[in-house]
């Protein structure tokens, strides 16, 4: 499963322990517009991702979401306040343990 929490049916969110996900209220905020129909300007994307990070910061299931994202390794979207590249960085050897200590 590599689907953003905002796109999962509520039943799947519960099974993924993501019940209460804040991104359910505005799915496009975290995943962006459909790239097949919309070209998002880089500045607009950066602004959208900043707002998504703010939403994640107060999300009650952020820790579970982050764990899920670290294992799922999504390439797009904002997950627990992180981009796919930032999540990849967490998966580098030794990095995750350091991050959890900090």
Q: How many of the other CB atoms lie within 10 Å of CB of 9? A: 9
Q: Mark 52-91 with x for binding to ligand SF4 (rule: CB under 6 A) and - for no binding.
A: ---xx--x-xx--x------------xxx-----------
The per-residue DSSP string of 33-52 comes to: S-TTT-PPPHHHHHHHHHHH
Is 8 one of the binding residues for ligand SF4 (CB under 6 A)? no
Is 32 one of the binding residues for ligand SF4 (CB under 6 A)? no
Report the half-sphere exposure of 88 (CA within 13 A, side-chain side).
Answer: 7
Distance in Å from the first CA to the final CA of the chain? 29
In angstroms, give the least distance from the CB of 21 to ligand SF4: 3
Residue 14 or 39: the one with the smaller Cβ distance to ligand SF4 is 14
Q: Which residues lie closer than 8 Å to 81 by C-beta, 6 or more apart?
A: 52, 53, 56, 57, 62
- Member of 16, 22, 48, 74 binding ligand SF4 (CB under 6 A): 22
Which residues contribute to the site for ligand SF4 (CB under 6 A)?
5-6, 18, 21-23, 30, 55-56, 59, 61-62, 65, 78-80
């Amino acid at each position: 499963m590599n689907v953003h929490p905002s796109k999962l049916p509520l039943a799947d969110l519960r099974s993924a322990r993501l019940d209460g996900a804040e991104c359910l209220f505005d799915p496009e905020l975290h995943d962006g517009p459909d790239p097949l129909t919309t070209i998002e300007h880089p500045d607009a994307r950066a602004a959208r991702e900043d707002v998504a990070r703010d939403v994640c910061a107060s999300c009650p299931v952020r820790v579970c979401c982050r764990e899920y994202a670290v294992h799922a390794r999504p390439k797009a979207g904002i997950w627990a306040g992180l981009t796919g590249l930032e999540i990849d960085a967490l998966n580098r050897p030794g990095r995750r343990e350091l991050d959890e200590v900090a």
